[in-house]
Chains A and B, each alone.
Chain A
Amino acid sequence: MLLSSLAWILIAGRPRWGAETRLLAALVSLVPLSVAAIVLSLAINGLIGAAGLQ
Chain B
Amino acid sequence: MDSARRRETRVGRWAPPAFYVLIVLTWFVDGVAAQAGDRLWLVLWTVPALGLYLSAYPQARRMSPDFTVLLATGVAFALLVLAFLGWRFGRVNVAVFVIVAGLFPAAMDFLSSFVVDNYVYPGQSRLWVFTYIFFGLDGGVRDLPPARRGDRGAAGTRRAERTPHEMAGAPRNRDDRGPAGPVH
Evaluate contact between A12 and B89: CB separation under 8 angstroms. yes
Q: What is the number of contacts between chain A and chain B, taking CB atoms within 8 Å?
A: 81
Complex partner residue of B100 from A4, A17, A19, CB under 8 angstroms: A4
**A18 contact set on B, CB distance < 8 A:** 184
Interface residues of A toward B: which range? 20 to 34
Closest to A5 in B: B143
Chain A residues with CB under 8 A of B100: 4, 7-8, 11, 26, 29-30, 33
Assess the B89–A34 pair: CB atoms within 8 A. Answer: no
**Measured CA separation A13–B101 after assembly (Å):** 16
B77 at interface by CB-CB < 8 Å: no
Once bound together, how far apart are the Cα atoms of A26 and B98, in whole Å?
9
Q: Which of the listed residues B139, B155, B175 has the most CB atoms from chain A within 10 Å of its own CB? A: B155
Contact with B along A1-42 (1 / 0, CB 8 A): 110110111011111111100110111011001100100000
Contact between B95 and A2, CB atoms less than 8 A apart: no
Residue of A nearest to B176 (CB): A19
**Interface class of chain A by DSSP:** helix
Q: How far is A9 from B163 in the complex, measured between Cα atoms in Å?
A: 24
Kindly state whether residue B36 has any CB partner on chain A within 8 Å: no
Q: Please, how many angstroms separate the alpha-carbon atoms of A7 and B100 in the complex?
A: 7
Cα(A22)–Cα(B175), bound, Å:
13
Contact among B97, B104, B140, B157 for A30, CB-based, below 8 A: B104
Q: Do the beta carbons of A23 and B95 come within 8 Å of each other?
A: yes
Residues of chain A within 8 A of B89, CB atoms compared = 12
Chain A residues within 8 Å of B63, by CB: none
Contact of B143 among A2, A22, A23, A33 (CB under 8 A): A2
Q: Which residues of B pack against A, CB within 8 Å?
A: 89, 92-93, 95-97, 99-101, 103-105, 107-108, 138-140, 143-145, 154-157, 175-176, 184
